[in-house]
Amino acid sequence: MAAVNNDKELRQVQQKIKTLADNLSRLNKQKGHASSELKRVERQYGEISRTIQTLNTQSKQKQKRINDIQQEIQIQNGWLLTQKEQLAEQVKTAYALGRQEQLKLLFNQQDVSRSSRVMTYYQYFNQARLDKLQRINSSLQLLTTLEQEKQQEKQVLAKVVAENKLLQEQLVISKTERKQLLVKIKQDYKKNSKQLSRLKKNEKQLKRLITTLQKATQVKIVAEAPAKSFTKLKGKMPWPVKGKIVRSFGSQRADGKWNGVLLRAKEGTKIKAIAHGQVVFSDWFKGYGLLVIVKHDKTFMSLYAFNQSLYKEVGDWVNAGETLATLGNSGGRDKAGLYFEIRKKNKPLNPKKWCKKRR
């Protein structure tokens, strides 16, 4: 009887194990799908954000041109008013001089020299009026052209504003979709996995990526090597973004220690390259969101993660201070920030020792 009960309990335990294994498999698939969706949404979010910034710049340029045209129109109207007043004065002067026509003066033989002078004066006076009328006509034509250009610029501006508004709406939808995905992913992690193992796995994947990139670009990077080596720039390089360091190199985190620094700054802030180099990775990477990696020579690399938008592609050469991306919270982050690393081969280095001292 005891043997029968033991067999029954064993079968129940085995059934529970099978059920848990099936659930775990199913949840892993769901997690993988959610992660893929997050990748798609964050890429889309980045593209929309970059386009909105471009449209904002275009909008400012168009508005400035419209203001310039309006100012020119005001100047031309003022000049035209002055010319009209001067022309009116000329007409009054001619009337005041008398109503004698040129033919009468010709037949006036009493004072030939005086008639000649008056005739010459009339010729100068008429030519001055003609010149004045020609300038007025040219000014009127310019005003027409400026008004047409202003209307065209307004139409273009209206299209830019409309497109920007549409993209802003899409951005809100994208943000909402991302938020929902993050909630789902967090729930799955809380129920079925440990954050520790996830972070370690992401770190291992990043190390493998860096090793692969080091080998793949060993020869290419020499093509445009800077005049000054990366090592000689130690302690002199600019930080990629102005922001507060909220996680320092070597400080404790869930899976051990931070291999770089986490800088807190406003979402959309431009992220700059710390030195000359070539972009060897520019894409979404699990655990790090939209990631940019720049190789500076055969040994050194810098990494910029959690970005909002990517501005450079693989193969692009960049100089110190050139924009690589904009700061964001991709990779499933709650708050906007930049995760920044410097590596020698695959060994992480303390960025504080390589970048300028912070005030």
Task: Give the pTM.
Answer: 0.58
Residues 187 and 241 in one domain: no
pLDDT band (50, 70, 90) for residue 20 = very low
**Residue pLDDT, tens place only, 100-147:** 445 454 555 455 555 555 556 556 666 666 666 677 777 677 778 877
Secondary structure class of 326 (helix, strand, coil):
strand
**Which residue, of 148, 171, 192, is where some domain finishes?**
192
In a domain, 44, yes or no: yes
Residues 31 and 173 in one domain: yes
- The whole-angstrom separation of Cα 148 and Cα 249 is 60
The residue to which tokens 């990526």 are assigned: 209
Domain hosting residue 267, numbered range: 195-354
- The whole-angstrom separation of Cα 113 and Cα 356 is 89
Burial of 135 (0-12, 13-18, 19+ CB in 10 A): middle
- The whole-angstrom separation of Cα 215 and Cα 201 is 21
**Which residue, of 167, 192, 217, is where some domain finishes?**
192
pLDDT band (50, 70, 90) for residue 72 = confident
Secondary structure class of 153 (helix, strand, coil):
helix
Secondary structure class of 148 (helix, strand, coil):
helix
DSSP string, 259-293: SSEEEE--TT-EEE-SSSEEEEEEEEETTTEEEEE
**Which residue, of 154, 174, 192, is where some domain finishes?**
192
pLDDT at 183: 73
Mean pLDDT score across all residues of the chain: 76
Q: Which two tokens stand for residue 339?
A: 């995760």
In a domain, 359, yes or no: no
The structural domain count of the chain equals: 2
Paired residues of 326 in beta bridges? 270, 309
- The whole-angstrom separation of Cα 105 and Cα 157 is 62
In a domain, 106, yes or no: yes
Contact between residue 243 and residue 358 where contact means Cβ atoms under 8 Å apart: no
- The whole-angstrom separation of Cα 337 and Cα 267 is 7
